[in-house]
Structure 1
Amino acid sequence: MKFNSQNFLTLNILFSSSLMILSSSNWMFSWMMMELSFMTFLPLMTQSPKISYQMMKFFIIQSMSSSLMLFMMTMENIYPNKINLMIMLISFLMKMGIAPLSFWMPMMFSFMNLYSCLLMSTIQKIGPMILMSQFIPFSMLKPSIMLSLLIGSISSMKQNKFKKFIAFISISSMAWMILSIYMSKLIFIKFMFIYYITNLFLIKILMQNNIISINQMWYKSLSMKIYIQSFMLSIMGMPPMLGFLPKWMILKNFTFLMGSMSLFLVLTSFMQSISFMKMSINNIILSSSSLKTTNKIMKEKVYSLFMIWTMIYLPILSLLNL
């Protein structure tokens, strides 16, 4: 995305509307700011080629979910009942692309530029997430949380394109975002900030090197591979990376979680780490095996990196009492 005065104004509106939603206690004002953020985001999508048809589908999905959301929130304030909450929940899930209504997100990410993908997976989730926490009981969200973790974890394992990889990781991360917002706004803000920063650094290096698929890393230097894969690990929330910190806070402080859900959170993260480490070993070592003169040095660097990660990882395990 080119940085010009129009984009600067657009980004200012996006961030300002998100801050106003976080500081507001009035649901109608929050809904208006959410829609302002949505309408401001649309021009950024037009900067991507071949996006017109997909943007129309995105507009229809977002408009339908927003209209349904407003109607059901009004009805809930006038005549509260479980049916209103159920329909409202459907509108929130569709708006944010949370499982089982996450079908449109990977499709949209494929046609957008990487920076638009970043904004959609972070800033555009703040408004709906805040409103959802004000109306929907946590107990109604447990099936969606577990489905998002499962779909995001399994689907991200078999992705070769970075855009779809980010899309499915975003679906998985939204489950953690839901948990954080039901804890406190402060933990949610910390989670969103860390997630935004790690995604921003990854997307910046991908755009600078014109990398669109994971296979393209085979032709990059070892330091570049380690750099990219470290940010990928952080986005997935793997220890000892920065992205693991908000997940640790959630698991440590979310005391009313059922034991089975806590176990499910850990298992889905473990599934991602196993798949990613297998891909990393193949990418770093096997793809460079033809360079016989430097093969030994590269392996030593990989083993040294593994030892550093282990030295950081073990203290974290002791802190978690695992």
Structure 2
Amino acid sequence: MSPTIQSLILSSLATGTIITMASQSWIMAWVGLEVNTLAILPIISKNHHPRATEAMTKYFLTQAAASTMILFASTLNAWHSGQWNTMQLTMEPASTLLTLALAMKLGLAPAHFWLPEVLQGSTIMTALIITTWQKLAPMAILIMIHQNLPTTTLLVLGLTSSLWGGWAGLNQTQLRKIMAYSSIAHLGWICIAITMNKTITILTLIIYILLTSMMFLSMNTNHSKTMKDLSTMWTLSPTIPTFILLTLLSLGGLPPLTGFLPKWLILQELTTHHLMLIATLLAFSALLSLFFYLRISYTTAITLHPNQTTISNKWRQKKYKYSKLISTLMPLTTIMIPMLPIMF
């Protein structure tokens, strides 16, 4: 792909998200989502491979169906209220349908089946865009209209996503599929936070993007696609496995790492609202996710894949370069909790 075309596509990707975030009309929000969807399709299929074409087709069909539901729900609401304003969501069937459509766009369970397959057919950096930037526009709509959304539907979607994301990730060995189920589980936590506190929702989303970006960038340093690839990474750079270990433990929500912060705040908010059953189930779902994070951590940091004697010193002979962005993100993924008094 030529640099001119690539810059045009990335500009369209950013423009679509910004249009959706800044829109006060359902029509413009829908237009922004469509621009966002159309811009990501060439990025997914830029590798001329059947898996990439299949991933692009699945992504397009799912997002097109969700966009159709959004347009239908907004038209239904406009017919009832006489306004296209996003804040005038007064019709209950329209709000429920809109919630389900946005859940499909985000990849929340039970409308999540497209996400692992699309990530598996994409490159690592494309998977990074899909799991981070592509979540911003639908999440911005949810946050803007959270007061008019059905609370029960959001709680059920969030709880189902967190449980299914943890459960389905247990049997995976492909890193992109594991990160897909991790994304589903974290989006479930964010979905539950929307019903209670907007500030905690935004904080959880920011931390999720930081941790996911750090993990994908670390995987991209030596193009790791399976757990076996991680076990040989230390021969190239001993620093990167350490970064991955801390990031995985942070994703699992172990204190005192950054990932513990959103889980702690959400569980505290749930107990304040006397939703003890949901808080208990969420805590159990976090244990499911923690298990496969620890499995990858064990493979990365403790297990040594059989190698020749000369390979063990490869990192001393050649200076292995990794992104400076990794060095920037690493402190944020581990030591953000001491910054909590500054942020609030």
TM-score normalised by the shorter chain: which range applies?
Answer: 0.7 to 0.9
Cα separation, 1, equivalents of 2:174 and 2:299: 17
Please name the residue that 2:37 is paired with: 38
Change (3 A) 1:82 1:181: closer
Change (3 A) 1:138 1:11: farther
Change (3 A) 1:193 1:278: closer
Question: TM-score if structure 2 supplies the norm length?
Answer: 0.74
- Tell me the alpha carbon deviations over residues 160-203 of structure 1, each in whole angstroms, 9 at most, x when there is no partner: 11110110001101112213444455444333332222222222
Shift of 1:145: 1.2
Please name the residue that 1:242 is paired with: 258
Cα separation, 2, equivalents of 1:203 and 1:16: 24
SS at 1:287 equivalent: coil
Say which of 242, 248, 257 aligns to 1:232.
248
1:117-156 aligned at under 5 Å gives the runs 117-133=127-143, 134=145, 135-156=148-169
Say which of 250, 261, 278 aligns to 1:261.
278
Point out the more displaced range, 51-60 or 282-291. Answer: 282-291
Contact persistence 2:21–2:141 (CA under 8 A): no
**Structure 1 residue 97 corresponds to structure 2 residue 107:** yes
Please name the residue that 1:18 is paired with: 17
Say which of 214, 217, 224 aligns to 1:201.
214
Superposition misfits of 4+ residues, deviation over 6 angstroms:
288-291
**Structure 1 residue ranges without an equivalent (≥5):** 292-311
**Structure 1 residue 73 corresponds to structure 2 residue 90:** no
- Tell me the alpha carbon deviations over residues 40-61 of structure 1, each in whole angstroms, 9 at most, x when there is no partner: 2122112233322331232122
Contact persistence 2:154–2:192 (CA under 8 A): no
Shift of 1:229: 2.3
Amino acid in structure 2 at the alignment position of 1:225: P
SS at 2:178 equivalent: helix
Please name the residue that 2:331 is paired with: none
Amino acid in structure 1 at the alignment position of 2:75: T
Please name the residue that 1:179 is paired with: 192
Change (3 A) 1:114 1:185: farther
Cα separation, 1, equivalents of 2:123 and 2:107: 18
Please name the residue that 1:112 is paired with: 122
- Tell me the alpha carbon deviations over residues 95-151 of structure 1, each in whole angstroms, 9 at most, x when there is no partner: 222111111111111101112212212222222233345253222222211111111
Cα separation, 1, equivalents of 2:11 and 2:233: 35
**Structure 1 residue 163 corresponds to structure 2 residue 163:** no
Amino acid in structure 1 at the alignment position of 2:40: F
Cα separation, 1, equivalents of 2:260 and 2:23: 29
Please name the residue that 2:227 is paired with: 214
Contact persistence 1:61–1:95 (CA under 8 A): yes
Shift of 1:81: 4.8
Change (3 A) 1:127 1:184: farther
Amino acid in structure 2 at the alignment position of 1:199: T
Cα separation, 2, equivalents of 1:77 and 1:87: 14
SS at 2:172 equivalent: coil
Contact persistence 2:16–2:31 (CA under 8 A): no
Contact persistence 1:157–1:276 (CA under 8 A): no
Question: TM-score if structure 1 supplies the norm length?
Answer: 0.79
Cα separation, 1, equivalents of 2:37 and 2:197: 24
Taking only aligned residues, the RMSD between alpha carbons, in angstroms, comes to 3.2
Contact persistence 2:17–2:32 (CA under 8 A): yes
Cα separation, 2, equivalents of 1:203 and 1:282: 17
Number of equivalenced pairs:
296
**Structure 2 residue ranges without an equivalent (≥5):** 81-89, 309-333
Q: Percent identity?
A: 23
Please name the residue that 1:64 is paired with: 65
Amino acid in structure 2 at the alignment position of 1:93: A
Contact persistence 2:175–2:226 (CA under 8 A): yes
Please name the residue that 1:297 is paired with: none
Contact persistence 1:122–1:192 (CA under 8 A): no
Amino acid in structure 2 at the alignment position of 1:111: G
